[in-house]
Amino acid sequence: MRLHDLKPRPGSKHRRKRLGQGESSGHGKTSGRGGKGQSARSGSSIRPSFEGGQMPLFRRMPKRGFNNAEHTVEYIPVNLEALNNFEEGAHVDEAALRSIGLANGRLARIKILGAGEVTRKLTVSAHAFSASARTKIEAKGGKCELIVKKPVARTKA
């Protein structure tokens, strides 16, 4: 087989739709734009939420009330299996996890999850631990230290 013998798989390449090539082509006359109106004109584009001048749904909906997204606490997940990169008796904290690339991202909190097995005695300090992770770390003689992060005080503007 040579380079000039290579061909794309059957059915993977399609001819482009040639518009305005006569009535018998199936894409003649209005070229797939329907009849008259705004969408039939050249250069026309209507944004997806446009309702023809009617007050849009988003503006009709009330904008008051509780938003749960403001109160969520998000964590960077780190599995137990990944903690085996540290030496026996090491102190594993946020800085150590970020330095070896186990806790990447903009989030400020880290949670240790119980996937896998830890093979070393470690002192782990994180913002949260799953129940299984805590029992597995302590079963190996290690310690789990919780980092208490104070919530950001919100001021009304």
Helix H or strand E encompassing 145: strand 143-146
Joined tokens for residue 111: 């949670």
Q: What percent of the chain has pLDDT over 90?
A: 73
**CATH for 74-146, options being 3.40.50.300, 3.40.47.10, 3.65.10.10, 3.100.10.10:** 3.100.10.10
Closest CA to 80 of 120, 55, 46, 116: 116
Where is 128: in which H helix or E strand? strand 128-129
135 vs 148, higher pLDDT: 135
Q: How many CB atoms lie within 10 A of CB 112?
A: 28
Name the percent of the chain lying above pLDDT 70: 95
What's the pLDDT at 56?
95
Return the minimum-mean-pLDDT range out of 41-50, 107-116, 120-129: 41-50
The answer to whether the pTM exceeds 0.85 is no
Binned at pLDDT 50, 70 and 90, residue 1 comes out as confident
Q: Give me the chain's average pLDDT, please.
A: 91
Residue with tokens 């199936």: 26
Whether residue 63 is predicted with pLDDT greater than 70 in this model: the reply is yes
| Sequence-ordered list of residues with C-beta below 8 angstroms from that of 77, at least 6 positions apart, any chain | 111, 113
pLDDT for 152: 63
